[in-house]
Structure 1
Amino acid sequence: MTKLLREEIPLNPHVAGLPPYSAGLNIAAAQKHSGLREIAALASNENPDGCSPKVAAALAGLNPARYCDPACTTLRAALGDKLGVPAERIVVGNGSDGMIAAVCRAILRPYATVATLCPDFGLHEIEALENGARAEKVAMRADLDFDIPAIVAMLARKPAIFFLSSPSNPVGPALDRDGLQRILSAVTPQTLLVLDGAYFEFTDDDTPGGLDALAQTDLSWVVLRTFSKAYGLAGLRVGYAVTSDLRLARAMTAAKIPFNVNAAAPAAALAALEDEAWMRASVAALKQERQRVSRIVAALGFRVAGSQTNFLFIDVGWDSRAALDHFLSKGIIIKPWKEAGYETFIRVTIGSASENDRFLEALRVLAKE
């Protein structure tokens, strides 16, 4: 009997050609690679303090047999009260990653242009390409800060969306008030400004978060926030978007699958919001560690970007993949950066004091080789 040849199903070309997202190596993989049991996971910017004890108490009463409220009504109301924004203009999703996907699906048409920075969070580009858009990147300055004139020049070309992470991921600096105002003045009505504030809680007290300044404009905008970092809920995947108007919020909601937030996520997020004191104490300690580690890295002769996040972006002078192997041999996971022009940089999470000391000792060895 002649075997029929299977004809290959055509793939969506926008998806088939996507660059892979570079996720941080997980602990099990690092253990297998290194042969070590004790691993310092410093690649994914998780909170080494975990999360508020109130989160565990909230999850203990959860009934997994019941669907969650797909609108996350209670969580949106709590966020609205906290931020002074109508709950109807807030969208909750599966991490801020899910919100990036939703805004692209809601806004983009094939061959539109999306602008972002370089280096920047990979999903700003990947989600744009997935929706058939073109990506244009604006490089950070040589001193690893925002190039405001270059951003203003790019905005004159009226991209459909401008993704701007402040604080920058992976570099670390945050926009000051003057820089933010210059950008807002350059945004045209044809551009949706998406301000990705995933690390906002780690910024200095006088750093603008964007919401107040954006509320004074007539622009279309989205501000992204997450519970993954400062609140320690990375494993539960819950983030949110604050939108400039109800029309945008409705479009982003329609662009999500209905139950894209599991029942545990909003319950945990509500409990975390009720214990802001825990979050603030954790962030304060991590900021002190960030300053300590940054000083030592610089003293060892490595170039390190200024940071208002819970990580550091460091030029180690080696190919970043070789640097990854070096740190893995010491039981430490870091994030090697692979974008063109930044192949000698690594991003390292600020972990516990002991984890940071392990990283610094491994970095001292690297400095001698």
Structure 2
Amino acid sequence: MEQSVKPASSFPLNPHVAALPPYNAGMNIAMARALSGRHDIARLASNENPDGCSPAVTAALASSSFEPWRYADPACTALRTALGDRLTVDPNLIVVGNGSEEMIAAISRAVLVPGASVVTTVPSFGLHEIEPLAAGADVVKIAMTLEMGFDVAGLETAIAAGPRVVFISSPWNPVGPGLDRSSLRRLIGAVRPGTLLVLDEAYFEFADPGAPDGIEVLRDSSIDHVVLRTFSKAYGLAGLRAGYAVCSGLELARVIAAAKTPFNVNAAAQTAAIAALADEGWMKASVGRIRGERARVAAALAGLGFLVAPSQTNFLFFEGKGDSSSLAAGLLEQGIIVKAWREAGYERFLRVTIGSPADNDRLITALQGLARQ
């Protein structure tokens, strides 16, 4: 029997949350199989590591020392200690989250109040807008240049106006380029007292050698800041969710930690992250392979006439020849998931993950065929 549709509820909801735009998550494999009628799906939408994760991770999770029936350490003490040793940072300045996404939410909850101003970029990582909006903040977005790079001068001006928080991802999700050292220092120099700079380095490990390390650049800075990183991408732990925030001060770290839920990072994620961090060689080898494939795929897309943004990540952002949803649908028919970008003004763009060589070949071949149609 069909269930009748209830009328709209008159229950008073938080208007900031009720009005949020949806997060543009990648299509899951079950839906892709249902829509395409194919079983062999190339998952090139969510920037996962095609190499998986270090064997040390699976060994640690299979070890008798991992006890899933026990509560995880709510302070993530062992992981914060390992990170502190690796980064030469006081572990008390590190807050660990259920992915760096939770840290964006915790920062917004800890720092923002209704009516506060936030600056970020467009195209944007959705949560750099969504979480501030949920806190009632106003979001100012600075558009990328025609060359598909940072508008450093525009960002400088917006930052100098004194927003409460600035969210900048470098390397930039979803576009791909990273700030060079000079540009990063320019933006740091524009920050005034009362503004928190949040530098999201989720894709830091994929940047070419010589790219600035935000933790190092900001180490001796007097501005209030947070650097975000994650184990989801280069370390291949997307399904377990572990990320962290390196904060400029103890009080800032304390309040951000207070804004998250207790036991937020589960025991499997903590165990896996410690094991992954200890096997740096596996991660670097994987990143090296992905960089090589990134260059190959970028050259192939450019050869097909697509405008491709420079990338320091494990994905490419490119302008299709028409509405991106149509091109994404054509690829899905061939069992390839990519992400069509839907932000206003950028509906012709797509983001595609650098996958395995075989999946990348499928993408190139499919685009060659679609380009001839």
Amino acid at match of 2:219: A
How far off its partner does 1:216 sit? Answer: 2.0
3-state SS of 1:164 partner? strand
C-alpha distance in 2 between matches for 1:149 and 1:14: 31
Q: 1:325 aligns with which of 326, 329, 345?
A: 329
Q: 1:248 aligns with which of 243, 252, 264?
A: 252
C-alpha distance in 2 between matches for 1:212 and 1:279: 20
Amino acid at match of 1:76: R
The equivalences for 1:228-267 within 5 A come to 228-267=232-271
Amino acid at match of 1:37: H
Q: Which residue of 2 aligns with 1:88?
A: 92
C-alpha distance in 2 between matches for 1:166 and 1:189: 22
Q: Which residue of 2 aligns with 1:32?
A: 34
How far off its partner does 1:366 sit? Answer: 2.2
Amino acid at match of 2:314: N
When the two structures are aligned, how many residues end up with a matched partner?
A: 365
3-state SS of 2:208 partner? coil
Amino acid at match of 2:299: R
Amino acid at match of 1:178: S
Amino acid at match of 1:44: S
Q: Which residue of 2 aligns with 1:111?
A: 115
The two structures have a TM-score, normalised by structure 1, of 0.98
Instruction: State the Cα deviation string for residues 92-127 of structure 1 (Å, max 9, x = none).
Output: 000000000000001001110111000010000000
How far off its partner does 1:6 sit? Answer: 10
1:56/1:302 Cα in 2 relative to 1: closer, same or farther (>3 Å)? same
Q: Which residue of 2 aligns with 1:50?
A: 52
How far off its partner does 1:159 sit? Answer: 0.5
C-alpha distance in 1 between matches for 2:286 and 2:40: 23
Q: Which residue of 2 aligns with 1:169?
A: 173
C-alpha distance in 2 between matches for 1:21 and 1:7: 23
3-state SS of 1:146 partner? coil
Q: 1:348 aligns with which of 344, 347, 352?
A: 352
C-alpha distance in 2 between matches for 1:52 and 1:318: 40
Deviating 4+ runs (over 4 angstroms)? none
How far off its partner does 1:178 sit? Answer: 0.7
Unmatched segments (≥5 aa) in structure 2: 1-6
C-alpha distance in 2 between matches for 1:6 and 1:333: 35
C-alpha distance in 1 between matches for 2:231 and 2:275: 11
Matched, 1:270 2:266: no
- The alignment-based identity, stated in percent, is 59
How far off its partner does 1:311 sit? Answer: 0.2
Q: Which residue of 2 aligns with 1:205?
A: 209
C-alpha distance in 2 between matches for 1:280 and 1:73: 25
Q: 1:302 aligns with which of 285, 300, 306?
A: 306
How far off its partner does 1:32 sit? Answer: 0.2
Q: Which residue of 2 aligns with 1:16?
A: 18
Amino acid at match of 2:92: E
Matched, 1:280 2:284: yes
Unmatched segments (≥5 aa) in structure 1: none
3-state SS of 1:338 partner? coil
1:228/1:69 Cα in 2 relative to 1: closer, same or farther (>3 Å)? same
| Aligned-CA RMSD value | 1.1
3-state SS of 1:56 partner? helix
Matched, 1:123 2:127: yes
Q: Which residue of 2 aligns with 1:221?
A: 225
3-state SS of 2:222 partner? coil
Instruction: State the Cα deviation string for residues 215-270 of structure 1 (Å, max 9, x = none).
Output: 12100000000000000000001000000000110001000000111110010000
Amino acid at match of 1:291: A
Matched, 1:157 2:150: no
3-state SS of 1:235 partner? coil
How far off its partner does 1:297 sit? Answer: 0.6
3-state SS of 2:194 partner? coil
How far off its partner does 1:78 sit? Answer: 0.4
C-alpha distance in 2 between matches for 1:6 and 1:345: 35
C-alpha distance in 2 between matches for 1:311 and 1:217: 31
